[in-house]
Structure 1
Amino acid sequence: MLDWGPELAQDLAASESREWLCTNGIGGFASGTIASVLTRRYHGLLVAALAPPLGRTLLVAKVEETAEYLGEARALSANRWASRAVEPRGDRAIERWRLEGTSPVWIYAVGAARLEKRIWMEQGANTTYVRYALERARGPLTLTLAVLVNYRDYHGATRGDGWRMRVEPVPHGVRVLAFDGASPVLLLALGAEATPAHTWYEGFRLAREEERGLESQEDHLHAATFRATLEPGAPWALVLSAEAAPTLDGEEARRRRLAHEEELGARWGRVVASPAPPWIGRLVLAADQFLVRRPVGEDPDGASVIAGYHWFGDWGRDTMVSLAGLTLATGRPELARRILTTYARLVDRGMLPNRFPDAGPAPEYTSVDAALWYVEAVRAYVEATGDRESLARLWP
Structure 2
Amino acid sequence: MTNLEAVLSKELLRTNRSGAYSYSTLVDCNTRKYHGLLVIPVPEIDDDNHVLLSSLDCSVVQHDVEFNLGLHKYQGNNYAPKGHKYIREFDCDHIPTTLYRVGSVVLKREKIFQHYENRILIRYTLVDGPSQTKLRLRPFLAFRSVNDLCHENGVASREYQEIENGIKTSLYAGYPELNMQLSKKNEFVFAPDWYRGIEYPKEQERGYAFQEDLYVPGYFEVTMKKGESVVFAGCTSKIKPSTLKKLFDEECDHRPARDNFFRSLYSSAHQFYNHKKDGSYIIAGYPWFKCRARDTFISLPGLALAIEEPDRFELIMKTAGKALNDFLIGKPLQYDIAEIEQPDVPLWAVWAIQQYAHSQGEEKAFELYGELVWNIINTIESGKHPNIFVADNGLLRINGSSKAMTWMNSTVYGKPVVPRSGYVVEINALWYNSLKFVAELARFKNDNFASDKYESKANAIKQSFQEVFVNESGYLWDYVDNGVPNAEVRPNMIFAVALDYSPLETAQQKSVIYFCTRELLTAKGLRSLSPKSGKYTPYYVGTQNQRDWAYHQGTAWPWLGGFYMEAVMKLHKRSRLSFVHRQMVGFEDEMFYHAVGTMPELFDGNPPFHGRGGCAFAMNVAELLRMSKLLESYTY
Provide the TM-score with structure 2 as the length reference: 0.54
The equivalent of 1:270 in structure 2 is none
Aligned counterparts, 1:170-181, within 5 A = 170-181=163-174
Aligned counterparts, 1:71-150, within 5 A = 73-101=66-94, 103-150=95-142
1:392, 1:338 → 2: CA distance?
A: 16
Which amino acid is 1:342 matched to? T
Q: Give the CA deviation at 1:87.
A: 1.4
1:323 aligned to 280, 300, 303, which one?
300
The equivalent of 2:162 in structure 1 is 169
Matched, 1:285 2:267: yes
Q: Is contact 2:56-2:139 (8 Å) kept?
A: yes
Q: Give the CA deviation at 1:164.
A: 2.5
Which amino acid is 2:143 matched to? Y
Distance 1:293 1:248, change over 3 A: farther
Cα deviation per residue 1:148-178 (whole Å; 9 max; x = unaligned)? 1121111111112223213222222111122
1:232, 1:376 → 2: CA distance?
A: 58
1:68, 1:205 → 2: CA distance?
A: 27
Q: Give the CA deviation at 1:142.
A: 1.3
> Structure 1 or 2: larger helix share?
2
Matched, 1:381 2:356: yes
Q: Is contact 2:198-2:211 (8 Å) kept?
A: yes
SS in 1 for 2:328: coil
2:307, 2:294 → 1: CA distance?
A: 20
Q: Is contact 1:134-1:233 (8 Å) kept?
A: yes
The equivalent of 2:150 in structure 1 is 158
The equivalent of 1:391 in structure 2 is 369
Q: Is contact 1:68-1:110 (8 Å) kept?
A: no
Distance 1:201 1:351, change over 3 A: farther
**Unaligned 5+ residue runs, structure 2?**
376-636
Which amino acid is 1:324 matched to? P
The equivalent of 1:371 in structure 2 is 346
Moved more, 175-184 or 218-227: 175-184
SS in 1 for 2:42: strand
Q: Is contact 2:292-2:337 (8 Å) kept?
A: no
Matched, 1:306 2:283: yes
Q: Is contact 1:131-1:250 (8 Å) kept?
A: no
1:183 aligned to 168, 176, 183, which one?
176
SS in 1 for 2:345: helix
Q: Is contact 2:143-2:172 (8 Å) kept?
A: no
Matched, 1:350 2:328: yes
Which amino acid is 1:238 matched to? F
Question: What stretches of structure 1 move > 6 A for 4+ residues in a row?
Answer: none
Which amino acid is 2:314 matched to? R
SS in 2 for 1:376: helix
The equivalent of 1:3 in structure 2 is none
Q: Give the CA deviation at 1:198.
A: 2.7
The equivalent of 1:229 in structure 2 is 223
Q: Give the CA deviation at 1:180.
A: 2.9
Q: Is contact 2:42-2:48 (8 Å) kept?
A: yes
Cα deviation per residue 1:262-301 (whole Å; 9 max; x = unaligned)? 4x99xxxxxxxxxxx83211221111111221332xxxxx
1:178, 1:217 → 2: CA distance?
A: 19
Q: Is contact 1:20-1:33 (8 Å) kept?
A: yes
Q: Give the CA deviation at 1:258.
A: 2.7
Q: Is contact 2:114-2:251 (8 Å) kept?
A: yes
Q: Is contact 2:327-2:340 (8 Å) kept?
A: no
**Unaligned 5+ residue runs, structure 1?**
1-8, 266-276, 297-301
1:352, 1:222 → 2: CA distance?
A: 51
The equivalent of 1:341 in structure 2 is 318
Cα deviation per residue 1:350-375 (whole Å; 9 max; x = unaligned)? 3999x99xxx9684434211221111
Q: What is the aligned-residue identity percentage?
A: 24
Which amino acid is 1:32 matched to? S
Distance 1:366 1:213, change over 3 A: farther
Distance 1:244 1:68, change over 3 A: closer
Query: Could you say which structure has the larger radius of gyration?
Result: 2
2:8, 2:130 → 1: CA distance?
A: 32
Aligned counterparts, 1:251-262, within 5 A = 251-262=245-256
Moved more, 87-96 or 342-351: 342-351
The equivalent of 2:232 in structure 1 is 238
Q: Give the CA deviation at 1:244.
A: 4.6
SS in 1 for 2:304: helix
2:124, 2:145 → 1: CA distance?
A: 29
The equivalent of 1:294 in structure 2 is 276
> Structure 1 or 2: larger strand share?
1
1:33, 1:13 → 2: CA distance?
A: 12
